[in-house]
Amino acid sequence: MSDSHANLADMELIAGAARSGGEIALSYFRKDPRRWTKENDSPVSEADLAVDRHLAEVLRAARPNYGWLSEETADDRSRLGTARSFVVDPIDGTRGFLSGSGEWTVAIAVVEAGRPVAAALYRPVGDDLYVAVPGHGTRLNGQPVSISSRDRLRGSSVAGPKSIAARAGLTATGLSHAGYVPSLALRLALVAEGRIDLAVVRENACDWDLAAADLLVQEAGGLLEDLDGRALAYNRASVRHPALVAGPAALVDPLRPILADLM
């Protein structure tokens, strides 16, 4: 099977898994699921764990030779010795999920040689499915989407933490704050879709927050880079990343040095 065919087959697999995982999550949504706080002070619920178990069963059975990296599974690093790995966030935006917000997603990517080669991002509340493979563009519910065509910072919208978006150095550019999206993956998908012009990501986001959305942004014609202009590498020993910016090159290039002074 060629790489292109393998990527498309993997995309179909993870898209179906994201949908079925989303259905499981919906069965807990707004029903006060049991919840805990992890060591890094982030929340996790019985819904996260149920979706994680389901995705592991479905995906690892279908591709037993692939590695596995999930926010809710202990990392034994055996993934590092595999050609391809699943990178999974069972519920991206758990805080939003637990508060009753509809802005949470199931995010799944397949990573090879450090880069995503298939992506599926499903937003159950709204039944929105984003998918991408290299060279085939990004699709939302079967229709192609593309990055914003804006070429000036003034008047463009930026999504991200208010603590960053509201800083004087950023507001002086004329950017407008598009609000905070609890799911980081969804925030980036909205950039890929062109609904938001730019997104800013604080340091320490992890592979599972980013890998699927990274491919969505790239295939929609945009960039997701660190503040030195470098693309991200996934499925490494460390899964954490520095501060990032996403959007069209015409906006990312002038914004990077401004953010570097602020973050």
Whether 207 and 178 share a structural domain? yes
187-235 tens-digit pLDDT:
999 999 999 999 999 999 999 999 999 999 999 999 999 999 999 999 9
Whether 46 and 116 share a structural domain? yes
Residue 206 belongs to domain spanning: 157-262
Dihedral angle computed from the Cα positions of residues 194, 261, 225 and 185, in that order, rounded to the nearest 10 degrees: -60
Whether 23 and 136 share a structural domain? yes
69-113 tens-digit pLDDT:
999 999 989 999 999 999 999 999 999 999 999 999 999 999 999
In-domain check, residue 214: yes
Within 8 A by CB and 6+ apart from 17, the residues are 54, 55, 58, 59, 108, 120
CATH number of the domain bearing residue 204: 3.40.190.80
pLDDT confidence tier of residue 58, bands split at 50, 70 and 90: very high
pTM, 2 dp: 0.96
CATH number of the domain bearing residue 124: 3.30.540.10
In-domain check, residue 221: yes
Characterize 163-200 residue by residue with b for buried, 16 or more Cβ atoms within 10 angstroms of its Cβ, and e for exposed: ebbeeeebeebebebbeebbbbbbbbbbbbbbebbbbb
Are 239 and 69 a contacting pair, CB within 8 Å? Answer: yes
In-domain check, residue 151: no
